[in-house]
Every structure is written in structure tokens, then in C-alpha cells.
Amino acid sequence: MKWSDVGGWLKDNTRGLLGLAGSIATGNIPGGVAAVASMIGEATGESDPMKALKVLQTDPASMIRLEEIASVNEADIRKHHREMLELQLKDDQSYHITQQDTIQKGDAATDEFVRHTRPSMARQSWWGGAIYIAVLEICKAFNYGTGADVALAATIFAPAMAYMGFRSWDKAKQFNK
């Protein structure tokens, strides 16, 4: 067991400052993880993550003590959390820039085949999905079969949707928060 496991438990089972501390312990900033591990160790009297988690789960006084320690170190916790969010945002931005650069290079390629591959795949995907749905729904109308399967249709349409910019539901959920 690692300190990130203890952090995950804190993140899932507490709110406020302790939840924030838990998310830091699950992050990738060694200083932040060490700081939270130190606070947990001080509150539980344990230096082993498994034993510390057991104490936190069974001894309410240790949770109160951890809350007190976290309150004293609130500025550090918030600083580490901010650093973790900044790293995540930079990582996401780098991923997006790389992806867009790759797409733009392909669209501007001098090789005719490379330049037309993505649009061609998108058109084939769209036509394949449209034909799949039309044929199977017509067959269903004449009592032959059960019609188009939504999961299979979505799979066929996926390249066309990706070409149009639709990436994933998790990205859409970020904007609905």
C-alpha cells in the first residue's frame, strides 16, 4: 500500500480541507505527497501507510487530529493543490497542442494521400453508418431483424464524429459542471 491509497481514501470519504489533502496525496508532486504523508503520520502515529489508514478508519480521534493539523497547514495544502492543478492544466494543454499540430501537419501535407486520408476516413465512416442504419431499419420495418444496434452504429460513426471535433463524453461533462 502507498500513501496515494490513503489519499484516495481521504479524498473519497472526507470533504473540505481533508478531501483536498487526499487529492494532493494521490497527485504527482512529491513534495505535496510527502507533506500530506507527514500530516497523516503525525495524526495517527504511524509511518506505514497501511497502518495509518487502519487507524484513520477505526479511530475518530485520529481524524479530528488530522483535521486540526490540516487547518494549521492550510496554506501549504492549498499551495500544493494549486501546483497540482497547474501541472494538470499544462499537461492537458500540451496534449491538445500536440494533437492539433499533428492534425494541421496532416492537412497541410504535400503528399496527396496523407492530406486526404482523414477526410476520406470520415466520409467513409459517415456513409457506412448511414447505410448500416438505413438498411437495418428498413429490414426491421418489413419484420426482418431487430434494426440497427446503437453501439455498433456509434462505432461505425466514431471516425466521422472525431473528424468533426466530437471527442468524448468526459470532455462534454467538464463544461456542464
* Residues 116, 72 share a domain: no
| Structural domain count, the chain | 2
C-alpha cell at 174: 467538464
Helix, strand, coil distribution of the chain in percent, nearest 5 = 80, 0, 20
* Residues 85, 17 share a domain: yes
C-alpha cell at 162: 472525431
For residue 124, give its domain range: 110-175
* Residues 138, 59 share a domain: no
Give the per-residue pLDDT at 146.
Answer: 93
* Block residue for cell numbers 501541472: 87
* Residues 114, 86 share a domain: no
* Residues 63, 124 share a domain: no
The residue with greater pLDDT, 76 or 136, is 136
With a cut of 80, say whether residue 173 has pLDDT above it: no
C-alpha cell at 83: 501546483
Evaluate whether residue 81 is within a structural domain: yes
Assign 166 a pLDDT band (cuts: 50, 70, 90).
Answer: low
* Residues 14, 48 share a domain: yes
Global pTM exceeds 0.85:
no
The sign of the CA dihedral 78, 82, 88, 91 is negative
Evaluate whether residue 102 is within a structural domain: no
* pLDDT, tens digit, 9 for 90 and up, residues 103-115: 888 888 899 898 8
Evaluate whether residue 47 is within a structural domain: yes
Evaluate whether residue 71 is within a structural domain: yes
